[in-house]
Chain A
Amino acid sequence: MMVADALGAVGADFRVLNQRQIADCSFAWHIEAGLVDGTLRIRTETFRLADIRAAYVRLMDDQLLPELADEPEGSPARRHARAFHDAFYRWIEVAPADIVNRSDPQGSNGSKPYQAQLIAQYGFSIPETLITNDPNAVLAFQQQYGAVIFKSMSGIRSIVRVLAEDDLNRLEQIRWCPVQFQALVPGTDVRVHVVDQDVHATEIMSDTIDYRYARRAGGTVELHAIQLSSDVEEKCAALTRGLGLIFAGIDLKVTPSGEIFCFEVNPSPAFSFYEANTGQPIASSLARYLAKIQPA
């Protein structure tokens, strides 16, 4: 809704497709002679797809929509919701419009080590990483690098934790499934939101390993807007473009010596936390991109 408010502020002609009202909507699209077109009906308004110039997409799993909670499997309401979302999703992937963001380019975030290999191509340092099911290899890794953290490799979120004494006692369990370990990188967390050419950097100060869960862990977290060097800004923008994205949340860490590590590129960043705490105009950047408004 922050983006909707920002679109309103710039006088853009836009509509909100609310998934929770999908029962009152319909969608039909086609590819004919290489051209993509069709219609979208949102309640009482109908739009030609070829007239849609841009879209900001943040879809939830339609099977989890609250309006469908009491619907049995295969009910007309569920079938309609599934059919709508699938058709809409397929159109998004090929639509001749600015889509923030199409689905395929978001896929790299489903494998952190795969994405790290892509990130390294853009001049960022990546953490020393070992993925293994061999406890002895983990112990040698810890011996080499000192403090070691472990976290999930996939898109399933995990809380980053330091490998501690208790964990060493259950290390044999990794023989069942390899686990990702990384050398702890000291320094300051910086989250960078990139919208096309706009770059918004936020410094995060926290006394916990994973600032996202600081308050839950009884810790503290403070956010401040900062200005990155033009070189780093360009790298962030190039990385976002190179992954096929318009909008990204890039997680960096700046070491005391000034080395910049990149941990992850989030293709569907929940940016409101950062904007709410710093006033950085991320929603405004999105609105201006979508509405094709050049910066003053």
Chain B
Amino acid sequence: MVCEETDLAAFWAAERLRSRGLPVEVVTGADLAAAERWEHRLGRSGTTFALTFAGGERCLHSQEVGGVLNRLSFLPSAWLLRIGGPDREYAIQEMHALYLSWLHALPGPILNRPTPQGLCGNWRHPSAWAFLAAQAGLAVPLYRQSSEDDPAETWQAATEPPLATVLVVGERIIASPVVPEDQHEACRRLARAAGAELLGINFTPVAGDGWGFSGASVMPDLIRGGEPLADALAEVFV
């Protein structure tokens, strides 16, 4: 498990996976920020990495990793808070490049693989999600944007939690019972099109009858999935 130390959903998932007999090591952003030694190699012999954490006794070697629940969306907050000076932006770019590479090199199943647009999956613009969702067959409200708009408005977080969420883990669906089953295959198609092994898809009621797509996240609230989600995650890593 790779996550920020404030990610309660991640710690919940780690505890549920341990209760199912999986040996889970949690590596937090604070751990990574304080890592003493980094070594990442690429070449004829393949790709490896080795991290030595603060204190020198705890290490993480790529060959010892069996699978990862990846909840690190960007560089660790603890590291970002520590750096400054005229080279700060350069250091951020360099470390982001390194994180993208070593996370990509992790062996075994990874939920979700890092992308250049987000270290735990592609953080798409709402328009990109709307397009993919419509292509997947979900009911999507009209999306409009123009040169008269404020671009920042489209990125504003919802003020209310979603009324219904479908969590997709591979081919498994963990859905709120209000979302009809005939939407489940479209949800799988959306996750596949998005390249996300783990995806949270939000729905809101639409006029008349039914539920419409209202957003998606590669870093969903895992707690909403409860024990069925924990079962689905365990299946991936067994």
Does residue A178 face the partner (Cβ distance < 8 Å to B)? yes
Is there a chain B Cβ closer than 8 Å to A59's Cβ?
no
What does the 1/0 interface line of A165-185 toward B look like (CB < 8 Å)? 000000000001111000100
Distance in angstroms between the alpha carbons of A84 and B144 in the assembled complex: 13
Task: Give the shortest distance, in Å, between B9 (CB) and chain A (any CB).
Answer: 26
Question: B12 near A: Cβ within 8 Å?
Answer: no
Q: Which of A12-20, A129-137, A187-195, A208-216 contacts B (4 or more CB under 8 A)?
A: A129-137
| Cross-chain contact of B149 among A87, A120, A132 (Cβ < 8 A) | A87
Is B125's CB under 8 angstroms from A30's CB?
A: no
Instruction: Check A83 against B104 for contact (C-beta < 8 Å).
Output: no
Task: Point out the residues of chain B lying under 8 angstroms from A27, CB to CB.
Answer: 146-147
Q: What's the dominant secondary structure at chain B's contact region?
A: mixed
- Stretch in B14-22, B87-95, B176-184 touching the partner: B87-95
Q: How big is the A interface, by class?
A: 35 or more
Instruction: Label chain A's interface by main secondary structure.
Output: mixed
Known contacts: A29-B145, A104-B117, A107-B115. The answer to whether A154 contacts B40 by CB under 8 A is no
A132 touches B47 (CB 8 A): no
With A87-B147, A90-B125, A128-B44 known, 5 other A-B pairs at CB within 8 A are A104-B117, A110-B97, A111-B101, A114-B100, A154-B93
**Could you tell me which B residues sit within 8 Å of A by CB distance?**
37-44, 47, 90-91, 93-98, 100-101, 104-105, 114-117, 122, 125, 127-128, 130-131, 134-135, 140, 142-151
Q: Could you list 7 A-B pairs, sorted by A, with CB under 8 Å?
A: A27-B147, A28-B148, A90-B125, A113-B42, A113-B101, A177-B95, A178-B98
- Residues in chain A within 8 A of chain B (CB atoms): 25-34, 36, 38, 79-80, 82-84, 86-88, 90-91, 93-94, 104, 107-108, 110-114, 116-117, 120, 125-134, 137, 152-156, 176-179, 183
